[in-house]
Amino acid sequence: MRYSIFLLITVLLVTSVVWLPTAAAQEPIRVLDQSVEAAFRDHITFRVKLESDSPIKEVRLLYRVAGLPATARGDAQFEPGTSVEAVFTIDQRRDYLPPGSELSYWWRITNEAGDTLKTEPQTYLYMDDRHTWQTLSNERLTLYWYRGDGDFGEALFRQANHTLDQIENEAGVRVTRPVKIFIYGSHRDLLEAVEVGAHEWTGGQAFTEHGVIVINVSPNDLDFGLIAVPHELTHIVIDQATDNPYGDIPRWLDEGLAVYMSGELDSPFRGYRSLVALYAKQNRLMTLQTLSSSFPADPELANQAYAQSGLVVEFIIQNYGKEAMAKLLNIFAQGSLYDDALREALGMDTWELDNAWRKHIGAPPLERPGTTGQTPDSGQAATQVPTPSPTLSPSAGSTPSGTASTPRDASGKVSIPCLSVGFTGAIVVASFLTIRLHGRPSS
């Protein structure tokens, strides 16, 4: 018995001696440490320390920004050897990312012996760390602000959540990816947070692909924030719900939903209902065909475009129901053509919807479009719509009611004209509330 136990112990010891070196065998390429360091709006620097049995010949960083389909890659800089520190930097002065961007990154390393190592993906949250942010958060959104008390933040957070509930109840769509809303307390702070070279009149930007909104709302401009936040939030939710590789939704529907959900139709700053009533009486309404693409650059006509779009959306929801609106958005999510989607959801095309709405408000009807397929505007609006421009000057006035058009560029961002900014040409806006137009990327 003792002999058997001794033999068993001997076998185990021998096995351990043989096994231990095998278990401790090192991989040919080893990661000792990795880190990320950033200076907001300047750079994001990735570092990795490595050891290898043979000299390392290539270190490549691969990264993907949440919300964007493409994976970026770049070769890191390092001194060749068997022990290296490799560095790769994203120049934020050239390749801007908004605050709140989430990056997933990993390394791929190759040595001269042909060994390759791919590290496990890591996540990095890119923030504007120049401010001490207060936050309110739930599973749908996070609100960040640094000026103003808790009541200020709570009011904006409550309004944002109310907007999400309203969009779900009246348009039948939900936010599919959490949204981040950054409230900058001054115009200067906002300009120092957006991309270098942004227009001086920029009052905010929405990055639909990233699910990020940045807006200048100071504590004494809460009324502006209670409109601007829902407006921009609506654009992001609708973009998430209808995004597809085939086509966009009509501009009047996109902007009309934002105007409707933000309460701008009944806002004292706007006067949208009386404005549309006036244009209807003068037979100067724009057609839905015209409003399906870019809005006018002229501030007065752009304001009219917003007003009409909001009222048409209200007409659809009130007369055909939220189920019809939800169906319409779902059809557009499949990449449907405008008239095809409207016929399937509402039983009418663009021209018929336009006339149904005009009849509802007591406006003169439109004639059926000609064989060219174009629907001219009634009255003066037919000759007054200018070519859209990406840079606009909002109108000034004693009552904050102007609206300017700023289409989204290829990166997916859009700009919101700001409050209280001096413009070249002696135009000074003293107390200006405005919401920007929202577009989709052209590519």
In a domain, residue 421? The reply is: yes
* Range from 3-12, 141-150, 245-254 carrying the lowest mean pLDDT: 3-12
Dist. CA 438–CA 208, nearest whole Å: 10
- What confidence tier does 268 reach under pLDDT thresholds 50, 70, 90? confident
Instruction: For residues 237 and 297, state if they share a domain.
Output: yes
- Look at residue 177 and tell me whether its pLDDT is greater than 80: yes
- What's the pLDDT tens digit per position in 71-98? 999 999 999 999 999 999 999 999 999 9
Which residue in the block uniquely carries the two structure tokens 């409707």? 260
Instruction: For residues 98 and 150, state if they share a domain.
Output: no
Which residue in the block uniquely carries the two structure tokens 């015209």? 290
Instruction: For residues 260 and 401, state if they share a domain.
Output: yes
pLDDT at residue 385 in the model: 30
pLDDT at residue 26 in the model: 81
What tokens does 166 get?
A: 């309203």
Residues 399, 269: contact at Cβ < 8 Å?
A: yes
pLDDT at residue 198 in the model: 77
Dist. CA 415–CA 418, nearest whole Å: 9
Dist. CA 86–CA 434, nearest whole Å: 47
- What confidence tier does 21 reach under pLDDT thresholds 50, 70, 90? very low
Q: Which of 182, 183, 216 minimizes the C-alpha distance to 198?
A: 216
- What confidence tier does 412 reach under pLDDT thresholds 50, 70, 90? low
Chain-centre distance of CA 18, in angstroms?
59
- Look at residue 264 and tell me whether its pLDDT is greater than 90: yes
pLDDT at residue 19 in the model: 40
Question: What is the torsion angle, in degrees rounded to the nearest 10, for the CA atoms of residue 382, residue 387, residue 391 and residue 397?
Answer: -20
Q: Name residue 47's beta-bridge partners.
A: 35, 87
Chain-centre distance of CA 125, in angstroms?
16
CA 260 vs CA 213, 217, 316: distances in Å = 19, 21, 11
In a domain, residue 291? The reply is: yes
* Range from 185-194, 228-237, 312-321, 366-375 carrying the lowest mean pLDDT: 366-375
Q: What is the CATH number of the domain that holds 277?
A: 1.10.390
Q: Which of 131, 110, 9 minimizes the C-alpha distance to 60?
A: 110
In a domain, residue 328? The reply is: yes
* Range from 66-75, 192-201, 330-339 carrying the lowest mean pLDDT: 192-201
- What confidence tier does 428 reach under pLDDT thresholds 50, 70, 90? very low
Cβ neighbours of 431 (radius 10 Å): 14
What tokens does 248 get?
A: 């966009």
SS3 per-residue string spanning 106-165: EEEEEECCCCEEECCCEEEEECCCCCCCEEEECCCEEEEECCCCHHHHHHHHHHHHHHHH
At residue 35, φ and ψ (nearest 5 deg) are: -155, 165
**Domain count across the chain:** 2
Rounded mean pLDDT of 101-108? 98
Which residue in the block uniquely carries the two structure tokens 């004292």? 268
- What's the pLDDT tens digit per position in 362-383? 999 998 876 444 433 433 333 2
- Look at residue 31 and tell me whether its pLDDT is greater than 70: yes
Q: What is the CATH number of the domain that holds 42?
A: 2.60.40.10
pLDDT at residue 303 in the model: 92
Instruction: For residues 360 and 267, state if they share a domain.
Output: yes
- Look at residue 163 and tell me whether its pLDDT is greater than 70: yes
Instruction: For residues 249 and 361, state if they share a domain.
Output: yes
Contacts with 178 (C-beta within 8 Å, 6 or more apart), sequence order: 139, 140, 141, 142, 211
**Which of 71, 97, 126 is at the close of a domain?**
126
- What's the pLDDT tens digit per position in 208-232? 999 999 999 999 999 999 999 999 9
Instruction: For residues 367 and 264, state if they share a domain.
Output: yes
pLDDT at residue 399 in the model: 25
Bigger pLDDT: 58 or 419?
Answer: 58
Name the percent of the chain lying above pLDDT 90: 71
Residues 112, 54: contact at Cβ < 8 Å?
A: yes
Instruction: For residues 307 and 169, state if they share a domain.
Output: yes
Residues 294, 251: contact at Cβ < 8 Å?
A: yes
Rounded mean pLDDT of 277-281? 96
Instruction: For residues 103 and 195, state if they share a domain.
Output: no
- What's the pLDDT tens digit per position in 34-50? 999 999 999 999 999 99
Cβ neighbours of 77 (radius 10 Å): 11
Dist. CA 173–CA 165, nearest whole Å: 9
Residues 82, 53: contact at Cβ < 8 Å?
A: yes
- What's the pLDDT tens digit per position in 47-69? 999 999 999 999 999 999 999 98
- What confidence tier does 386 reach under pLDDT thresholds 50, 70, 90? very low
Q: Which amino acid is at 201?
A: W
**Which of 101, 126, 151 is at the close of a domain?**
126
Q: Which amino acid is at 276?
A: V
Instruction: For residues 102 and 200, state if they share a domain.
Output: no
In a domain, residue 211? The reply is: yes
Q: Which of 251, 297, 300, 306 minimizes the C-alpha distance to 390?
A: 297
pLDDT at residue 201 in the model: 75
pLDDT at residue 414 in the model: 54
CA 23 vs CA 116, 187, 225, 433: distances in Å = 20, 60, 61, 68
Instruction: For residues 147 and 264, state if they share a domain.
Output: yes
Cβ neighbours of 286 (radius 10 Å): 26
- To the nearest whole number, what is the mean pLDDT of the chain? 82
Rounded mean pLDDT of 153-171? 97
- Look at residue 20 and tell me whether its pLDDT is greater than 90: no
- Look at residue 280 and tell me whether its pLDDT is greater than 50: yes
Q: What is the DSSP string of 276-344?
A: HHHHHHTT-PPPTTGGGSPPPSSHHHHHHHHHHHHHHHHHHHHHH-HHHHHHHHHHHHTT--HHHHHHH
Contacts with 270 (C-beta within 8 Å, 6 or more apart), sequence order: 264, 307, 401
Rounded mean pLDDT of 351-359? 98
Residues 366, 358: contact at Cβ < 8 Å?
A: yes
Q: Which of 231, 210, 228 minimizes the C-alpha distance to 218?
A: 228
Residue-range definition of the domain harbouring residue 224: 134-428
pTM > 0.85: yes or no:
no
- Look at residue 269 and tell me whether its pLDDT is greater than 80: no
pLDDT at residue 169 in the model: 95
- Look at residue 398 and tell me whether its pLDDT is greater than 90: no
Residues 95, 70: contact at Cβ < 8 Å?
A: no
Instruction: For residues 116 and 236, state if they share a domain.
Output: no
